[in-house]
Homo-oligomer: A and B are copies of this chain.
Amino acid sequence: MTGAATPPTIGVFDSGFGGLTVLRALIDRLPHARYAFIGDTARLPYGSKSRRTIARYAIESAQFLVHEQGAEFLVIACNTASALALDAIRDSVPVPVLGVIEPGAEAARAASHTGDVLVIATDATVQSHAYTAACHARGLRVIEKACPLLVPLVEEGWTDHPVTAEVIRIYLDELNAAAASQHMQPDALVLGCTHYPLLRSLIQSSVAPGVQVIDSAAAAAEAAARSFPGVLAAQAGEEHTIIRCFATDSVEKFERLGSRFLGRPVGEVGLVDLGG
């Protein structure tokens, strides 16, 4: 537990490593805060699973961060869990909880002039229609597309590979055809999965000119800074970033791959058994 003199701890949760891109954006914005990150690597990926199962898993991780790591704010750095389980997580812990869907939709609203937005995400996120609801609430038209091969391609390390470029082209062609059939003129594309920022350069070169690519990780970090003003006020209390990382499966793999997402060494990773 954190004492009165220390800054609040921000708990960050993802199904795997991808959420480290959100942690990275949070550190850029709030470098002097304390962070506890857990990746539920024993049960990833969430993107192909059901709402009931995703909610059960996510609640266990949220409670670990709050009850065992003293997190006073939670950022759900997983689009799938944010889309399908945000209310369930909020009901399960006594601290403020921020997901990545609403910040992503808000960033799309700010970026789009035509009011027509594209979203690429996992199967489960798309089927939840969470981005559609968040965009409609802001007066935007939106088409979502599931891109289930992109996460495995990132995890294979093919982030700058011709096969990945071809898969992205196929997915975006289908998405653009769907938009054209509805007479939409999209000018913003939301990366609705925390793995996708690692494909940003390939995606950027595949979108039509004038379409802005929106990283929901950066948008979520901005929203966190606004939502948790206590962190901003207190963060001067630490001289450097304090990060504790946990995983539910192989910590060696986490330590090896995690730095690719975090952009710095993840340090020693603790193994956690959530009972699943």
CA gap between A60 and B43 in the complex, in Å: 15
Q: Chain A binding site: helix, strand, loop or mixed by DSSP?
A: loop
Instruction: Kindly state the interface size class of chain A when it binds its partner.
Output: 20 to 34
Chain B residue nearest to A276 in the complex (CB): B276
Q: Say which residue of B41, B49, B155, B163 sits within 8 Å of A163 (CB atoms).
A: B163
A53 contacts the other chain (CB 8 A): yes
Task: Give the shortest distance, in Å, between A224 (CB) and chain B (any CB).
Answer: 29
**Contact between A43 and B149, CB atoms less than 8 A apart:** no
**Contact between A249 and B156, CB atoms less than 8 A apart:** no
Within 8 A of B (CB), among A234-276: 248-250, 253, 275-276
Within 8 A of B (CB), among A97-133: none
Contacting residues, chain B, for A158 (C-beta < 8 A): 149
Q: A157-198, CB under 8 A of B: which get 1 and which 0?
A: 010000100110010000000000000000000000000000
Contacting residues, chain B, for A148 (C-beta < 8 A): 152, 155-156
A92 contacts the other chain (CB 8 A): no
Contacting residues, chain B, for A48 (C-beta < 8 A): 44, 155, 253
A153 contacts the other chain (CB 8 A): yes
CA gap between A41 and B48 in the complex, in Å: 9
**Contact between A49 and B53, CB atoms less than 8 A apart:** no
Task: Give the shortest distance, in Å, between A40 (CB) and chain B (any CB).
Answer: 10
Task: Give the shortest distance, in Å, between A250 (CB) and chain B (any CB).
Answer: 4
A50 contacts the other chain (CB 8 A): yes
